[in-house]
Every structure is written in C-alpha cells, then in structure tokens.
C-alpha cells in the first residue's frame, strides 16, 4: 500500500467536487456517510491502527448511518428486512485470510440498529459462502472446528478475529431476540434458497427489464436466484471493502455473487459458483452478471466495512502485506455511489469500475461523486493506493464513431457503442478496412500512456499526429501496445485506422495515468 502524494490528493479532491462536506447536505444531493476511527464526534475516537473494540465499531457504524440519513423511516411496519454480509470463507479454508469477510462487529451493529429502530417483523442475516450447510449430506467443502463440523451459523469466531464480538451468528441472533423481542431473527443460507418450479427443481428466472428498457447484460439472461433476495421488503448489503482480481473492487454490488445459489452453479467437488462465471461472463468480464444479479433486488441501503480489507486480490494469496487496516465505515442509500467512493479510497479511478457504469444504466444509483455530499470525514485524507491485481486495467473506451471511409467528414461517421472493452468491427459491419475515432476531453494538460490492443494492422493518430503504428496477427490483449502521449486541455481527437490482415479487425483504447499502472488518467472523459 502506498500513500497518495499531494498532487494526486488535490486531483482526487477536485474530481470529487469538494464532496467532503462535514456538516449538512446540499439540497438535492445524495449522501454518503464516511466515518474514520479518528472522527471527532465519536464517543471514543481511536488511532488508525487501533484494533477497535465492539463499542467503537458500533459507534462508527451508527454514525455513518446517521450521516447517510438513516433508513428506518423507509421500512414499513411488519416488513421483512434482510442483512447480507460477505462471509465467503471460514477459517481454516485455504482461501480465508483476515480482511476477506465482513467484520462481525459491523454486521452486529447493523443488526442492532434494525432491531432497535426499524419497525420490522422479521430480520434475517443471509449469505451464501463456499462451504456447505450442516444439513447438506455432501462431505466435500465442509469446515470443522474443534473436531466438529460447522457452517456460517455455528462457526465460533472467538475474540481474537473481531475483538469484543466473538461467538457465532446463532448466538448473535439469540442475543438480539432476547434484548429486542417482538421481532423474529433468523439466518438463511442462500446456497440452498434457490427459486424452484412445481417439481422442486431449481428454476431459472429472467433478469427483469428496467423502467427504461435495459435488459440483461450477461451472456445468458436467465439466472438461478434466491427467494430471500427477491421477496424481502428491505435489503441492506454489508460488504467488506477489498480488491478483486476480475472487476477491480469488492463492495456492495460485487457482493451479489454470494446471492447466486451454489446448488445451481457449483460443479462436483467445487462448492463455488463455477458455472455462474462460465455461463454468464462476457469476454471474461464478470461485471455484467454482477449487475444482473443485483437487478432482482437492488440494495435498499448499504453499509461498507472498511475496517480491514485485502489488496492484490480478493482471497488469500499468502502475502504478509495483503491485509490493510483502514478503520473506516461508509453508509449510503445509494450503493453505486458508495462503491465509487470505496474505489477512490483504495486508489482506483471510479470511472474504471465497469459494473458501476452498468449499475447506473439500470438506475441503481449514481457513480459520479460530484453528485454526492460525503458527510463525516474527508475522503481525500483517507485515500491510499492499494496494490492492484497483477493484470489490472481500467475501463477501455466504449463509445466510438466508425466508418469504412476515413476521408468522409467525421460528423457522418456512425456512432457505435461497443458492448465491451473491445471494438470488434465485424459486429458493426463486414469489411477489411475501417477507421474509428473518439474525442477525449481533458480538464488540463495531461501526461498519459496510450494503451492499445489490436488485431490486424493499425495506425493511431492523436490530434492529427501519428503516435503509434503496429501489427498483430496472433492473440489479442488489452494494452499490448503502449506509448507515452500528452493531452492538451480541452478536446483531443484520437483516430485509429485499422486494416484486417488474415484475422478480423479489432481495437481497444485506454489512456492510462503517468504511473502506467492500468488506471485511467485522472480528469478525462471519452466523448464519441
């Protein structure tokens, strides 16, 4: 993990449009509550390295919810409220490491908030992890503790992992039932909760069409989904903030992978969603099916556990510096904005997180942090540069103007939206010779690296000057050709002339920041 230097801090703060409002929210703006352990309004502020106790975590969670505007007024009397944490592995599974699952104290604080303040009739903790239920007769992918088989409800976390909140989920639910009677408290293992047909077999359900007509993004539009997620009245996601190998970050939206029942997607011996990835990914990207799964019931509220997380990748990679302590909590009614802030706090450019674009298309929230008031602590002071996945790269341009006649006026070129990072010309029209253009709006002078992936022979021109000329007839890879470039303030024109050479013509384009680490350069936007 690296700290952000002063210039990067100022750029991030400008990009967030001075979103760190510490008191009150501007009229019409959405809210994100952000509370660090040092926050002055906590009863007992603690240092950034403090392991925290249960009372401090509870105070942080409740304060973040308060800054976000709360949610109890949005819950109707008699409702079924579901709290969905991230508990993908249990000790001693090989994938588990500290920072990989939601802090039990955060889950407990959210559960207590609902128990004390919300007029719910039923409160459920729901999750689907990569371990079998005690009721499952299969013997692979089981977890034992003290020579006894356990699952998410009976695993005893002790007091070392989450100081002050040890015990099991079952004991936590019993405690809430005793302290706050009048509600039903239970746990649902989503792996075994799939929607079934009349014969009792798992039934696929089509992704609902959005109000604006947006359909499924995944390669297959029908999914195995769970009754609990579809039928509950109010859904609170409580994810842990961490890096993810395939989509950049894990927070509220990515946690929906745990809502896909493993009984529908696992294969023999592998109790994880193998076939979810194989059947629904698009060109090896999981972002489309993340948002498809969320479409069955988008989060009504999210509380993000940023106390500890993982850099490099999402599960244990045996590196001693993988776990990062940040000692912060976020909350918002807008899960897309919360995820955008999580990305920024981890040193990513939120623009690069593809599933945030897809979520906004389905009107699940807004990804532009300029549209939010961030109440509590200043995100610019908490932003760090977490180690990213080895093969990480940001979201390539999707909006193009394309033509077979590059000599024609550009305003006559056809607008075309590529469904993924790669512009495959044959999907637009048959042929062997093409040109594609995109305008790049820069907030000021920017030094960058142009990353190009291509099949065929191509020439790249930036503001009329040739900056790259290459040929590739073998395997395609995003960023296989890289060239340092400079963007001028305002509009820049990037044009590719591409000739198919025994392989279909295709191109991808990404403008990476001066660190050349795969993140889109700050302060630019692509405009077709």
Residue 369 sits in the same domain as residue 516 = no
- Identify whether the C-beta of residue 395 lies closer than 8 Å to the C-beta of residue 421: yes
Residue 336 sits in the same domain as residue 478 = no
Q: Which two tokens stand for residue 258?
A: 């745990």
Residue 72 falls inside a structural domain: yes
Domain closes at, from 354, 385, 416 = 385
Place 10 in a pLDDT band, splitting at 50, 70 and 90.
Answer: very low
pLDDT value, residue 240: 98
Residues 68-83 pLDDT 10s: 999 999 999 999 999 9
Residues 124-151 pLDDT 10s: 999 999 999 999 999 999 999 999 999 9
Residue 448 sits in the same domain as residue 310 = no
Q: What does the alpha-carbon distance between residue 262 and residue 291 come to, in Å, rounded to a whole number?
A: 18
CATH code of the domain in which 219 resides: 3.40.50.11440
pLDDT value, residue 23: 35
Q: Which secondary structure element, helix H or strand E, spans residue 58, and what is its range?
A: helix 54-67
- Identify whether the C-beta of residue 202 lies closer than 8 Å to the C-beta of residue 225: no
How many structural domains compose the chain?
2
Residues 253-293 pLDDT 10s: 999 999 999 999 999 999 999 999 999 999 989 999 999 99
CATH code of the domain in which 506 resides: 2.60.120.260
- How far CA 90 is from CA of 6, 71, 264, 267, 327, in Å, comes to 40, 30, 21, 20, 22
Q: Which domain holds residue 34?
A: 2-385
Residue 406 sits in the same domain as residue 373 = no
Q: What does the alpha-carbon distance between residue 98 and residue 118 come to, in Å, rounded to a whole number?
A: 31
Residue 405 falls inside a structural domain: yes
Q: Say how many C-beta atoms besides its own lie within 10 A of residue 247's C-beta.
A: 21
pTM (predicted TM-score): 0.93
Residue 117 sits in the same domain as residue 261 = yes
Q: What does the alpha-carbon distance between residue 4 and residue 12 come to, in Å, rounded to a whole number?
A: 9
Residue 310 sits in the same domain as residue 440 = no
Residues 35-45 pLDDT 10s: 999 999 999 99
- The pair phi, psi for residue 279, each rounded to 5°, is -90, -25
Residue 379 sits in the same domain as residue 403 = no
Residue 348 sits in the same domain as residue 435 = no
Q: What is the mean pLDDT of the chain?
A: 94
- How far CA 40 is from CA of 35, 200, 372, 374, in Å, comes to 10, 55, 22, 16
pLDDT at residue 3 greater than cutoff 60: no
pLDDT value, residue 26: 54
Residue 393 falls inside a structural domain: no
Q: What is the mean pLDDT of residues 296-304?
A: 98
Place 28 in a pLDDT band, splitting at 50, 70 and 90.
Answer: confident
Residue 283 sits in the same domain as residue 429 = no
Q: What is the mean pLDDT of residues 316-335?
A: 97
Q: Which two tokens stand for residue 300?
A: 């009504």
């Amino acid at each position: 993990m690296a700290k952000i230097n002063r210039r990067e801090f100022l750029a991030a703060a400008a990009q967030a449009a001075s979103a760190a409002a510490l008191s009150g929210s501007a009229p019409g703006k959405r809210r994100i509550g952000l509370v660090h352990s040092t926050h002055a309004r906590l009863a007992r502020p603690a240092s950034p390295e403090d392991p925290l106790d249960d009372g401090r975590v509870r105070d942080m969670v409740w304060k973040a919810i308060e800054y976000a505007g709360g949610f109890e007024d949005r819950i109707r009397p008699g409702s079924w409220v579901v709290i969905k944490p991230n508990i993908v592995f249990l000790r001693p599974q090989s994938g588990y490491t500290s920072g990989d699952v939601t802090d039990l104290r955060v889950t407990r604080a959210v559960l207590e908030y609902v128990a004390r303040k919300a007029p719910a009739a039923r409160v459920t903790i729901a999750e689907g992890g990569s371990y079998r239920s005690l009721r499952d007769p299969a013997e692979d992918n089981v977890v034992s503790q003290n020579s006894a088989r356990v699952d998410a409800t009976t695993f005893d976390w002790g007091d070392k992992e989450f100081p002050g909140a040890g015990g099991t989920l079952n004991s936590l639910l019993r405690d809430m039932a005793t302290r706050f009677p009048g509600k039903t408290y239970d746990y649902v293992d989503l792996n075994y909760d799939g929607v079934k047909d009349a014969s009792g077999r798992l039934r696929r359900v089509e992704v609902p069409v959005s109000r604006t007509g947006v359909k499924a993004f995944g390669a297959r539009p029908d999914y195995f989904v769970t009754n609990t997620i579809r039928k509950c009245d109010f859904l609170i996601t409580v994810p842990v903030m961490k890096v993810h190998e395939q989509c950049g970050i894990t927070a509220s939206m990515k946690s929906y992978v745990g809502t896909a029942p493993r009984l529908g997607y696992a294969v023999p011996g592998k109790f994880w969603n193998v076939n979810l990835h194989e059947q629904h990914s698009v060109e090896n990207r999981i972002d489309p099916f993340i948002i498809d799964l969320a479409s069955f019931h988008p989060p009504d509220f999210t509380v993000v556990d940023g106390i500890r997380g993982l850099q490099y990748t999402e599960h244990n990679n045996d590196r001693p510096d993988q776990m990062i302590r940040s000692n912060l909590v976020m909350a918002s009614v807008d899960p897309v904005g919360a995820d955008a802030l999580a990305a920024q706090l981890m040193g990513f450019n939120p623009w690069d997180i593809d599933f945030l674009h897809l979520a906004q298309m389905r009107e699940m929230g807004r990804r532009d942090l300029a549209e939010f008031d961030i109440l509590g602590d200043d995100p610019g002071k908490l932003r760090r540069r977490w180690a990213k996945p080895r093969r990480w790269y940001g979201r390539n341009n999707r909006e193009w103007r394309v033509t077979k006649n590059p000599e024609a006026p550009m305003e006559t070129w056809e607008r075309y939206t590529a469904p993924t990072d790669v512009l495959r010309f044959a999907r637009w029209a048959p042929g062997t010779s093409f040109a594609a253009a995109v305008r790049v709006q820069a907030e000021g002078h920017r030094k960058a690296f142009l990353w190009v992936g291509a099949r065929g022979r191509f020439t790249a021109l930036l503001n009329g000057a040739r900056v790259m000329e290459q040929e590739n007839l073998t395997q395609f890879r995003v960023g296989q050709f890289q060239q340092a470039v400079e963007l001028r303030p305002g509009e820049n024109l990037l044009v590719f002339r591409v000739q198919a050479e025994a392989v279909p013509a295709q191109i991808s384009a990404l403008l990476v920041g001066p660190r050349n680490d795969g993140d889109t350069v700050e302060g630019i936007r692509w405009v077709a």
